[in-house]
Amino acid sequence: SAVISQKPSRDICQRGTSLTIQCQVDSQVTMMFWYRQQPGQSLTLIATANQGSEATYESGFVIDKFPISRPNLTFSTLTVSNMSPEDSSIYLCSVVEYSYNEQFFGPGTRLTVL
Amino acid sequence: QKEVEQNSGPLSVPEGAIASLNCTYSDRGSQSFFWYRQYSGKSPELIMFIYSNGDKEDGRFTAQLNKASQYVSLLIRDSQPSDSATYLCAVNKGGTYKYNFGTGTRLKVLA
């Protein structure tokens, strides 16, 4: 399967600031997704990152708060804007490779907002 | 009703026993089913997927799917302490790559 990396692996941020998380894949993939996993909870899909166009957001998530870019088939960024302590979570990117249906996850970014 | 339901556990089994993890789903149109293992502090790792009714075996793992009853299960034979983790069930409706995840079952294998 594709090798997925995320940067940063963790960060501690102040309220009101923004953080951009990067997801890099070592091969071209068809789909890229961004998830949030709050402490002790399951995975919640934030959005589908679309190559060359605006991301498709799930109910409860908006572009102003979570802008996403996907300039090519191997890279995507998620920005968490104007952060509050409620945004403290693990953020995960996942990918689907061409000719497959299975999602594979990156190592995640652990975000703490003070 | 949640779309994908799992018992949160913990499910405790002795080393060497069979661990049985269950998942039910509400959408009859669901077509693909996945089991992920997540160790504490790590990201989910895909361990099994199943698309057809019946059993699918891979090493110590067996996935079982019953679409008529809308459940999917994961059996882990000869359970090891290293199998202790949270197991997430994910369901895909088809026509999209999006998954619905259950809340996970925490498995503890006692040495």
- Note down pLDDT in tens along chain B; length 111 residues: 679 999 988 999 999 999 999 999 999 989 999 999 999 999 999 999 999 999 999 999 999 999 999 999 999 999 999 999 999 999 998 778 889 999 999 999 999
Nearest-Cα distance to chain B for A100, in Å, is 10
Tell me how many residue pairs between chain A and chain B have CB atoms under 8 A apart.
44
Question: pLDDT tens, A56-103?
Answer: 999 999 999 999 999 999 999 999 999 999 999 999 999 998 878 899
Nearest-Cα distance to chain B for A70, in Å, is 17
Q: Per residue in B19-48, is it b (16+ CB within 10 Å) or e — as a string?
A: bebbbbbeeeebebbbbbbbeeeebbebbb
Structural contact between residues A62 and A41, judged by C-beta atoms closer than 8 angstroms: no
What are the structure tokens assigned to A105, written together? 């996850």
Interface residues on B facing A, Cβ-Cβ cutoff 8 A = 32, 34, 36, 42-46, 49, 88, 90, 92, 97-99, 101-104
- Which amino acid does the sequence have at A79? T
